[in-house]
Amino acid sequence: MTVAKIVYASATGNTEGISEILEDALKALAIDVERIEADDADDATFDDADICIVATYTDGDGEVPFDLEDFYDDLSELELEGKVFGVVGSGDSELYPDYFCQAAIDFDQAFEKTGAKRGAELVKIENDADDEDEEVLKAFVTALTKA
DSSP string, 18-77: HHHHHHHHHHHTT-EEEEEEGGG--TTTTTT-SEEEEEEE-BTTTBPPGGGHHHHHHHTT
Does residue 2 register a pLDDT over 90? yes
**pLDDT at residue 7, rounded to an integer:** 98
Q: What integer is the mean pLDDT of 9-19?
A: 96
Q: Produce one character per residue of 114-128: b if its CB has 16 or more CB atoms within 10 Å, e if not.
A: bebebbbebbbbeee
Residues 37/59, Cβ–Cβ less than 8 Å? no
CATH of the domain at 128: 3.40.50.360
Burial of 65 (0-12, 13-18, 19+ CB in 10 A): buried
Q: At residue 78, what are phi and psi to the nearest 5 degrees?
A: -75, 155
Domain residues for 107? 3-145
Query: In total, how many domains does the chain have?
Result: 1
| 140 HSE (CA, 13 A, CB side) | 28
pTM: 0.96
Residue 27's pLDDT band, with cuts at 50, 70 and 90, is: very high
**pLDDT at residue 60, rounded to an integer:** 87
